[in-house]
């Protein structure tokens, strides 16, 4: 410690060199070395774009959510929100047949992932995940000063048979199911068996599970070491609200409550999310529409010679004939359509396309048809 | 690392002992050992209480903020918010004559304090603060696995002369000015001199500075190692919104941007906070009212024999005749008035009373007059 501080320049020197280098001495080494997470492009000029790059829902949120927003009393904002988010947690517990004590809510599911990393993985310890997967996971490990072990998926993006062996010694595993950006899922039996055998925490990130054929919610009751992470950003069309939650055993949730910021979820997200969660019918209808569009887009692209990964999410991961995915990404952007491209050996032949409305999808297909 | 994992029980054992003890093996030692932060009471039944315990503003937020809330488009919530919060940061920069690059916004100022701790203090390193001060600071150090060095204030809650010597070797110092829960301030010259000499980060928590005679904003331009932390929870009457911000040199802000959750501030806080910050007149009027009430309450309590710490905040810290503060806290609660009591040698003779409306203050005084 004393050594670290002795390498800091004295204040006078720092004042003279107002550059990045001088500044870096203040940050922990782990922070200096890391790159931040790069979110998908959010075009600044409104309108004009067909925005299929950040897995947002093309449909508006439930009218119940809109009503909760419209009826919110501005004067109520002067008071702190409920730090325990009791009403919202009860609503979430009700949806999944669990108790409020099994639910932790966060400022988006990123907040949940951050809290979990801070709870379970210390400096120098190991957080494991898959490659490719959600690119935030290695960033969270880096911030913590932890090692991130990224186990490569098979060529078809399935779970490798030696996955359990490869993550041995980790304190926690982040497993996105369905996975992003690939969109496929992993056999539930394999995941369940892994959870039973793994001696640390398994966080199953189910951001896209409402669009899938099954989910792992019941594993929460079967395994003390399982956390399920969910978000209202995708299936509930509430990315702008920032609301995510974790489901887990009471011991995990109560420990994580100590680490979250006391008032991590504001009054408005508490009110609006509670209302949105109550509208099961609207959720089901929206999910059906998106699954339908997903299947027709997948078929059409396959018909055009694309290699389409079977998707269980609200996006598809598809490789164009010839594999020039970066060119396709740029050409689509030139045509006013934003999709997402992830460079790299495992992902560089693919683009990720969020499922839009029927009309947006027809426009997308018409544009692509002119190219291939 | 391998050693740590070998002490984890195998899954089967954990399944059999579904108790707190079995669960603790998953958490980092630092998390197991710590207590969470205890926020002030938020009474669940609405109405009935005169709530003077969590330093909320008794007046509603600006009509401009209310308008922004009422006019918010629910359909816009389907998209992610601007991860860089450009409009809001420009608005904040405009208020203080700084650039957007000097502003970091957070999900409440707790988010800012959390980000700063993660950026600047590693496991086993030292975060320093004062005692008594905001009780979240030691909790943030504990979560990080860092040491918290709490330097005792003088008996009159002034800064000790050997403060700089006592925090030597720390990576960061949290300095609340005005201080909480004591309400007094520290001479700005002393703070400025300390910032110039201290080789780590000085975070000056100005949560209450809008109610004070001066502030330390100009130190941001003078010292590369200074962060000013602000909140909209108190002077802007927006505790329920969750909006805090840091002002600092561009190098500090850009490094901290890597550590914040990408979308840490939702669309609604961005819109509503931007509107609230634009209404300078409303802010000034509200602050004047609260300062006026603070002075009359302080005088009245002094007249009743209370020892009242000179306050620069929206609360007062006062010791009743005889010093039986816990009894006063309980008696007031029995009368429907919530104030805050902090046990302990330095604080146990005092209660902290948030400044309410004129009417609430008259009721409070009438209740206290019957007691003394």
The helix/strand/coil state of B75 is: helix
Which residues of A are less than 8 Å from B51 in CB distance? 79
Query: Looking at chain A, which residue has its C-alpha nearest residue B5?
Result: A169
Nearest to B201 by CA among B221, B238, B174: B174
Residue B338 token pair = 């919530």
Task: Tell me how far the alpha carbon of residue A212 is from its chain's centroid.
Answer: 15
Which residues of A are less than 8 Å from B19 in CB distance? 251
Q: What is the pLDDT of residue B9?
A: 34
Which residues of B are less than 8 Å from A31 in CB distance? 118-119, 255, 258-259
Which residues of B are less than 8 Å from A40 in CB distance? 80
Share of chain A above pLDDT 70, in %: 93
A278, A297, A332 - which closes a domain: A278
Q: Rounded to a whole number, what is the distance in Å from the CA of B266 to chain A's nearest CA?
A: 5
Share of chain B above pLDDT 70, in %: 93
Are A285 and A363 part of one and the same domain? yes
Are A184 and A313 part of one and the same domain? no
- Give the other-Cβ count within 10 Å of B85's Cβ: 26
- Give the other-Cβ count within 10 Å of A39's Cβ: 17
**pLDDT band, residue A2 (cuts 50/70/90):** very low
Indicate yes or no: CB of B56 within 8 angstroms of CB of A263. Answer: no
Nearest to A266 among B1, B242, B258 (CB): B242
Nearest to B262 among A39, A70, A125 (CB): A39
Partners of B245 in the beta sheet?
B105, B230
Are B209 and B306 part of one and the same domain? no
Which residues of B are less than 8 Å from A146 in CB distance? none
The helix/strand/coil state of A366 is: helix
Query: Looking at chain B, which residue has its C-alpha nearest residue A22?
Result: B251
Whether A336 maps to a domain, the answer reads yes
Are A264 and A293 part of one and the same domain? no
Are B271 and B360 part of one and the same domain? no
Indicate yes or no: CB of A42 within 8 angstroms of CB of B261. Answer: no
Are A97 and A246 part of one and the same domain? yes
Residue A104 token pair = 């932790």
Cβ atoms of residues A329 and A299 within 8 Å: no
Indicate yes or no: CB of B23 within 8 angstroms of CB of A199. Answer: no
Least confident of A2-6, A176-180, B162-166, B260-264: A2-6
Indicate yes or no: CB of A264 within 8 angstroms of CB of B107. Answer: yes
Q: Which residue has the higher pLDDT, B7 or B43?
A: B43
Task: Tell me how far the alpha carbon of residue B208 is from its chain's centroid.
Answer: 8
Are B218 and B73 part of one and the same domain? yes
Q: Positive or negative CA dihedral for A75, A77, A83, A89?
A: positive
Over range A222-226, report the average pLDDT.
96
Partners of A104 in the beta sheet?
A246
Which residues of A are less than 8 Å from B240 in CB distance? 76-81, 266-268
Q: What is the pLDDT of residue A9?
A: 34
Q: Rounded to a whole number, what is the distance in Å from the CA of B322 to chain A's nearest CA?
A: 33
Nearest to A224 among B14, B126, B223 (CB): B14
How far apart CA A76 and CA A88 sit, in angstroms, is 17
C-alpha neighbours within 13 Å on the C-beta side of residue A30: 22
Nearest to B26 among A77, A126, A201 (CB): A201
Cβ atoms of residues A304 and A317 within 8 Å: no
Residue of A240, A248, A253, A354 to mutate, interface with B, max B Cβ within 10 Å: A240
Which residues of B are less than 8 Å from A78 in CB distance? 56-61, 237-240
pLDDT tens-digit map of A21-76: 455 489 999 999 998 888 877 776 657 899 999 999 999 999 999 999 999 999 99
Share of chain B above pLDDT 90, in %: 89
Indicate yes or no: CB of B224 within 8 angstroms of CB of A42. Answer: no
pLDDT tens-digit map of B127-166: 999 999 999 999 999 999 999 999 999 999 999 999 999 9
pLDDT tens-digit map of B231-242: 999 999 999 999
DSSP assignments along A96-141, one per residue: HT--GGGEEEESSHHHHHHHHHHHH--TT-EEEEEESS-THHHHHH
Indicate yes or no: CB of B258 within 8 angstroms of CB of A31. Answer: yes
Over range A87-95, report the average pLDDT.
98
Residue of A74, A144, A264 to mutate, interface with B, max B Cβ within 10 Å: A74
Nearest to A262 among B37, B238, B258 (CB): B37
Indicate yes or no: CB of A61 within 8 angstroms of CB of B77. Answer: yes
Q: Supply the range of the domain harboring residue A140.
A: 63-278
Task: Assign residue B356 the CATH number of its domain.
Answer: 3.90.1150.10
Over range B7-27, report the average pLDDT.
46
Kindly report the average pLDDT of chain B as a whole number.
92
Whether A298 maps to a domain, the answer reads yes
Residue of B6, B12, B27, B246 to mutate, interface with A, max A Cβ within 10 Å: B27
Q: What is the pLDDT of residue A39?
A: 80
C-alpha to C-alpha distances, A307 to A310, A347, A367, B31, B89, nearest whole angstrom: 9, 12, 18, 46, 43
Residue B308 token pair = 């009242």
Q: Is the pLDDT of residue B10 over 50?
A: no
Nearest to A78 among B61, B69, B121 (CB): B61
Whether A2 maps to a domain, the answer reads no
Q: Is the pLDDT of residue A349 over 70?
A: yes
Are A253 and A314 part of one and the same domain? no
A253, A278, A303 - which closes a domain: A278
Are B302 and B264 part of one and the same domain? no
Are A273 and A294 part of one and the same domain? no
Query: Looking at chain A, which residue has its C-alpha nearest residue B127?
Result: A1
Are A324 and A335 part of one and the same domain? yes
DSSP letter assigned to residue A335: T
Q: What is the pLDDT of residue B23?
A: 57
A278, A299, A331 - which closes a domain: A278
How far apart CA B289 and CA B266 sit, in angstroms, is 31
Indicate yes or no: CB of A42 within 8 angstroms of CB of B66. Answer: no
Residue of A3, A26, A226, A272 to mutate, interface with B, max B Cβ within 10 Å: A26
pLDDT tens-digit map of A299-331: 999 999 999 999 999 999 999 999 999 999 999
| pTM for the structure as a whole | 0.93
Cβ atoms of residues A264 and B107 within 8 Å: yes
Q: What is the pLDDT of residue A197?
A: 95
Over range A191-219, report the average pLDDT.
97
DSSP assignments along A9-53, one per residue: PPHHHHHH--SHHHHHTTS-HHHHHPPPP-PPP--SS-SS-EE-S
Q: Rounded to a whole number, what is the distance in Å from the CA of A152 to chain B's nearest CA?
A: 22
Q: What is the pLDDT of residue B38?
A: 82
Cβ atoms of residues A231 and A107 within 8 Å: no
Indicate yes or no: CB of B23 within 8 angstroms of CB of A200. Answer: no
Whether B346 maps to a domain, the answer reads yes
User: For chains A and B, what is the number of CB pairs under 8 angstroms?
Assistant: 315
Q: Which residues contact A345 (CB under 8 A, 6 or more apart)?
A: none
Domain count, chain B: 2
Q: Which residues contact A19 (CB under 8 A, 6 or more apart)?
A: B251
Q: What is the pLDDT of residue B43?
A: 75
Whether A39 maps to a domain, the answer reads no
Indicate yes or no: CB of B169 within 8 angstroms of CB of A5. Answer: yes
Q: Is the pLDDT of residue A102 over 90?
A: yes
Indicate yes or no: CB of A198 within 8 angstroms of CB of B11. Answer: yes
Cβ atoms of residues A195 and A169 within 8 Å: no
pLDDT tens-digit map of A229-275: 999 999 999 999 999 999 999 999 999 999 999 999 999 999 999 99
How far apart CA B59 and CA B48 sit, in angstroms, is 17
pLDDT tens-digit map of B83-100: 999 999 999 999 999 999
Q: Is the pLDDT of residue B20 over 80?
A: no
Indicate yes or no: CB of A76 within 8 angstroms of CB of B240. Answer: yes
Q: What is the pLDDT of residue B235?
A: 98
**pLDDT band, residue B48 (cuts 50/70/90):** confident
Query: Looking at chain B, which residue has its C-alpha nearest residue A9?
Result: B199
Q: Angle between the A109-120 and A136-144 helix axes, to the nearest 10 degrees?
A: 40
Whether B115 maps to a domain, the answer reads yes
Helices (H) and strands (E) in chain B, counts: 16, 13
Q: Rounded to a whole number, what is the distance in Å from the CA of B304 to chain A's nearest CA?
A: 30
Q: Is the pLDDT of residue B1 over 90?
A: no
Whether B321 maps to a domain, the answer reads yes
Are A195 and A224 part of one and the same domain? yes
**pLDDT band, residue A5 (cuts 50/70/90):** very low
Nearest to B238 by CA among B62, B26, B364, B48: B62
Whether A302 maps to a domain, the answer reads yes
How far apart CA A108 and CA B81 sit, in angstroms, is 11
Q: Which residue has the tokens 């369905």?
A: A178
Beta strands in chain B (DSSP E): 50-51, 103-106, 126-131, 147-152, 172-176, 201-205, 226-231, 244-248, 307-308, 315-319, 337-338, 340-341, 351-354
**pLDDT band, residue B46 (cuts 50/70/90):** low
Over range A146-157, report the average pLDDT.
97
Q: In what order do the strands lie in the sheet with B351-354?
A: B307-308, B315-319, B351-354, B340-341
Nearest to B169 among A1, A14, A75 (CB): A1
Query: Looking at chain B, which residue has its C-alpha nearest residue A225?
Result: B26
pLDDT tens-digit map of B51-91: 999 999 999 999 999 999 999 999 999 999 999 999 999 99
Nearest to A183 by CA among A294, A287, A306: A294
Task: Assign residue B168 the CATH number of its domain.
Answer: 3.40.640.10
């Amino acid at each position: 410690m004393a050594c670290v501080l002795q390498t800091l320049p004295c204040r006078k020197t720092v004042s003279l060199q107002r550059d990045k280098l001088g500044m870096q001495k203040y940050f922990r080494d782990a922070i200096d070395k890391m790159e931040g997470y790069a979110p998908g492009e959010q075009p600044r000029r409104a309108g004009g774009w067909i925005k299929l790059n950040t897995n947002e829902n093309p449909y508006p949120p439930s009218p119940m959510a809109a009503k909760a927003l419209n009826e919110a009393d501005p004067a109520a904002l002067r008071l702190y929100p409920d730090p325990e988010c009791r009403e919202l947690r009860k609503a979430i517990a009700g949806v999944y047949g669990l108790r409020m004590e099994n639910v932790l809510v966060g400022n988006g599911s990123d907040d949940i992932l951050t809290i979990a990393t801070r709870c379970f993985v210390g400096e120098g310890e190991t957080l494991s995940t898959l490659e490719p997967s959600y690119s935030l996971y290695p960033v969270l490990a880096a911030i913590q000063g932890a090692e991130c072990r990224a186990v490569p998926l098979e060529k078809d993006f399935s779970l490798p048979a030696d996955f359990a062996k490869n993550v041995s010694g980790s304190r926690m595993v982040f497993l996105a199911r369905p996975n992003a950006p690939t969109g496929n899922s992993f056999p539930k039996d394999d995941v369940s068996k892994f959870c039973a055998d793994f001696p640390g925490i398994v966080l199953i990130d189910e951001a896209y599970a409402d669009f899938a054929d099954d989910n792992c919610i019941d594993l929460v009751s079967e395994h003390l070491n399982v956390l399920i992470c969910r978000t209202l950003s995708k299936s509930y069309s509430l990315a702008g609200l920032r609301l995510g939650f974790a489901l887990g055993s009471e011991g995990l949730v109560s420990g994580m409550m100590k680490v979250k910021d006391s008032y991590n979820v504001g009054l408005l997200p508490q009110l609006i999310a509670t209302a949105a969660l109550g509208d099961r019918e609207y959720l089901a209808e929206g999910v059906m529409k998106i699954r339908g569009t997903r299947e027709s887009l997948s078929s059409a692209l396959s018909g055009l010679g694309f290699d389409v990964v079977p998707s269980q999410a609200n996006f598809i991961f598809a490789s164009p004939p010839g594999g020039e995915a970066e060119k396709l990404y740029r050409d689509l952007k030139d045509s006013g359509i934003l999709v997402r491209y992830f460079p790299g050996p495992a992902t560089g032949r693919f683009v990720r396309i969020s499922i839009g409305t029927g009309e947006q999808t027809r426009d997308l297909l018409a544009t692509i048809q002119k190219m291939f």
